[in-house]
Chain A
Amino acid sequence: MNQDIYVVIEHLRNQVSDISFVMLAAAHALTKETNGSVVGLLLGENNQDLVKNLAADRVIYIDHPALAEFTSDAYINTLENLINDNQPRVALFGNTSIGAEIASVLSARLDLPLISSCINFDSNAGELLYISQICGGKIMIEGGFLETTTLATMIPGGYKPEQGQSKEAPEITIVTAPELKDLRVTLAQYIEPEVEDVDISREPILISVGRGIQNEDNIELAEELAELLGGVVCASRPIVDQGWLPTSRMVGKSGKTVKAKLYLAMGISGAPEHIEGITDCKTIIAINTDPTAPIFDVANYGAEIDVLDLVEVLIEEIEEVKGE
């Protein structure tokens, strides 16, 4: 077993996802303890250019037509050999649609321990420690790494993506792909989400609605408010699941990560999947009747009041102020 930290880079449609940078940042923290290198693992077809701002000591790149788009079997078969042959100290995966499944299968196939939902790593007297979050973020678990190659999946929140980015491209080692045939999983096609009227990830002012809005009709009020403030309406998953707003407006793990200057969370409780999407927002104001709602733990300001009681008064007052 070497002391390197492997990071399985995730990319989709030629874009490296934020979680990859978070993992690279985590990997650097880990190598401080292990004194190994941070090695990025990039699988794809003609995707070499994606290494350009990865903050890795080096990147192993594997090119193969079957790796052009992510499919579980192809990725797993490729990584299987890489990990088995090299035996890194730790291999990091994202706790995502890509990383979560391949990490688990590899753990079973290679009989290696797997720690999931890691948010942070630490060390204590030479022992590597993981800190994971379970039960919707309500419970934290800490423990030590076993003395063997260990796989871990990560969630964002402990490290900033910026810490995993670099201005210089790392050196690339090209490794031949294994024979990838008779794959049991193949990609038939992508189905695009509805045409985006608005890209909420680029909007500076967001009025976000959750279950507290109660009724599809009340979203009109949020629209009015958004218009007055020059912003755009977005929502947590339950609202989109009901069909009250299109998927393009969904904020969170299954939706978009937003980086607004002002994020007004109205009637949103703050489930971890939602919080994942808003940690980069500058100012978060939360309106919720439940004082124990987790949203108040990440918000900068909060008011314990019913959205529906507040929003009409707010609209009126803003109109008055603007009228002056």
Chain B
Amino acid sequence: MSYYTIKTVLVLFTLFIAGIIFFKRIYDYLIVNLRRGQPSNVTGQWGERIKLFIVYVLAQFRLFRYRKPGLAHFFIFWGFLILSLTILFAIVEGIAAFSDPDYIVPVIGSIGPLALLQDILAVIVIIAVLYDLYVRLAEDPERYTGSHKREGVRVLIYILLIMITLLVMNGIRINLRVDPNAGWRPISSVVGRLFVGMEETTQIIVEESAYWVHLLIVLIFLIELPQGKHFHVVTSAFAVFLRDLEPRGGLHSAPEFNGDVGVSKVEQFRWRQMLDFYTCTECGRCQDYCPAYASELPLSPKLLMMDLRDHLKERGEALTKESTNTSTHQSILEKELVGDVITYQTLWACTTCYACDQECPLLIDHISPIVDMRRHLVMEGRVDAELQDALANLARYGNSFGKSARARARWARKIKPKIKDARSETVQYLWFVGDYASFSSTLTDVTKLTANIFRKIGLDFGILYDGENQSGNDVRRVGEEGLFEMLVENNMAVLSKCNYETIVTTDPHTYNTLKNEYPTNGNGRPPVLHYTELLDELITSNHLSFNKKLNYKVTYHDPCYLGRYNDVYEAPRRVIEATGCQLVEMPRHGDRTFCCGAGGGRIWMEDNPDVQERPAENRIREAAALPDVSTFVVTCPKDLVMFKDAVKTTGLEEKIVVKDIIELVGEALELIDSEITE
């Protein structure tokens, strides 16, 4: 029996074994568990899905947010895709070996330009892999903390070996004159020259060895795939294609199991959420931009995904083997998802700022599992004292400050003539003021100024006075779905009786929920504008122009719920420019804006005394480092509160001052004190 016959048999055999293991693992680890998950509606809108696939998978769009690693991955990805053809050929050629040791796949195997492309790609992939190894081993960036670093290095070495063995095989074949495309493989030729001095038989042995190394490493990689971070190779295309297409700012309603709201067992997640756990590549980009992680709270979106994935697999296994009922299985099954696997501190640390979801190359949703688990915590009553107070106040008074609803419009008391009551008068713009703008003493002056500017511009606007309840955006994100529903009911009862064209608000959180989550009234939701969008419209249509051009250098902080969640980046910038200010961007701007730390209900929670640097302090320092910038411009009431406080606690009062954009507008309009009624 010749070697080549054995080769065929062995190739087929190893293929078969590897195939079985590979598919069985996918079934056991992934399919079994996904089937335990709850239904997900991820079909329809095929055009949109195809577009997503092209942008995020084929073009690897998100990867380039980290330019060099992104470029490296782009080539490794495409290199692999195209070179996988080569691997396929190699397998076929191996199988055909018993009849023709030098078998070359017909037609495709002989396209010259393809051969050239393969050669070039092999080199590029090698360079990319060497760069990645350098990053992992020499730089060891922070984002890999907690990831399986050895697995990462190991797989890079696999890829390196696969490429090298490919070039060696090609090279030797060229030497042996069995490659019709020899002319098209310059790199392989060069590699071949390394062996040209050897005897033919030696070269053949080297070639066959390279072949086996090549094949075996590919198969080992394949069977290891489902177990770790490289599973994304299989799941990512599906993850992107079967993406949840609900608007970013709209959460799914709370799941309920026998009256228990929220997720308390991992199989209560929707299967689409579970798919995300498996798709995490442990790249840590989310971790790099997470404000909770930056302030050393025990939350990393990456580690959250990894923990959920590991728990899902472990529990899935134990559930499947339940009949054997060993004590290990019992203790696994007794592990509480919320509390044991994911701690309370982890869950409550999230500000829902969306930086993680924005950064993730595979569009993983880290926030909805957190909210679903919080929903369970709220049902259990496991809510810390300060948050409990805020929620109790919201339930009783419709605001988190614990003040009487009648005090809501106290800020407007001295404004003459009295601001229209939108509940009884028709208005063009219904100004939904929001809790902080109404009740916080830090905001009173800004809110009054906003009213006066609206008046000066000649807007027909009104407010809801004590009919307004908190919009509920953060109540929902805290997990109190019932309270959210109650606030929505109350607000809708009032809104449905009002006559208006557009809702305008200064609060991005309010904006987000009114726009994306409030019930439609049959005609869709009424248009909601953020005040910066309104000002921008008025400036562009020449209804608002400024007498004075302000000359200072400012920087602008994109609010999470305005920017990342709702894509409003340019309008505020145009307004700033229109006032004559010169905008200097912070390094983390636009969709990379760094959260002030108040969202997700965090502003209602007790501060962790061990925190060395709060997110707002981190951000203010970033702004203060910009040369000649004296003003930090915000367009969110909570940002104003958080950053004013941070300026004090970081001792940067001399360096930078926090202003709401409306203050710039006021200055540019030369609104004199007497026009601003006290």
Contact = CB atoms under 8 A, between A and B. Distances in A.
A69 interface: no
Contacts, number: 8
Interface string B595-624: 000000000000101000000000000000
A162 interface: no
Interface SS of chain A: helix, strand, loop or mixed?
loop
Nearest to B607: A215
A201 interface: no
A253 B620 CA distance: 44
A216 B609 CA distance: 8
A262 B528 CA distance: 54
Nearest to B385: A242
B441 A306 contact: yes
Contacts of A309: 648
A306 B648 CA distance: 13
A192 interface: no
A289 B441 contact: yes
A216 B610 CA distance: 12
Nearest to A216: B609
A216 B441 CA distance: 22
Q: Which interface class (under 10, 10 to 19, 20 to 34, 35 or more) fits B?
A: under 10
Contacts of A242: 385
A254 to B, nearest CB: 19
Contacts of A306: 441
Interface in A27-85: none
B530 to A, nearest CB: 28
B676 to A, nearest CB: 20
Interface string B572-609: 00000000000000000000000000000000000101
A212 to B, nearest CB: 11
Nearest to B606: A215
A216 B607 CA distance: 10
A217 B609 CA distance: 7
Interface string A206-237: 00000000011100000000000000000000
B385 to A, nearest CB: 8
Contacts of A289: 441
Contacts of B648: 309
Interface string B638-649: 000000000010
A309 B607 CA distance: 18
Nearest to B407: A292
A159 B441 CA distance: 38
Contacts of A215: 607, 609
A242 B441 CA distance: 25
B113 to A, nearest CB: 69
A32 to B, nearest CB: 43
Contacts of A216: 609
Nearest to B442: A306
Nearest to B645: A308
Contacts of A217: 609
B445 to A, nearest CB: 14
Interface string B351-395: 000000000000000000000000000000000010000000000
B649 to A, nearest CB: 10
A246 B609 CA distance: 19
A306 B645 CA distance: 12
A202 to B, nearest CB: 32
A9 to B, nearest CB: 40
Nearest to B403: A290
B442 to A, nearest CB: 9
Interface of B: 385, 441, 607, 609, 648
8 contacts: A215-B607, A215-B609, A216-B609, A217-B609, A242-B385, A289-B441, A306-B441, A309-B648
Given A215-B609, A242-B385, A309-B648, 4 more contacts: A215-B607, A216-B609, A289-B441, A306-B441
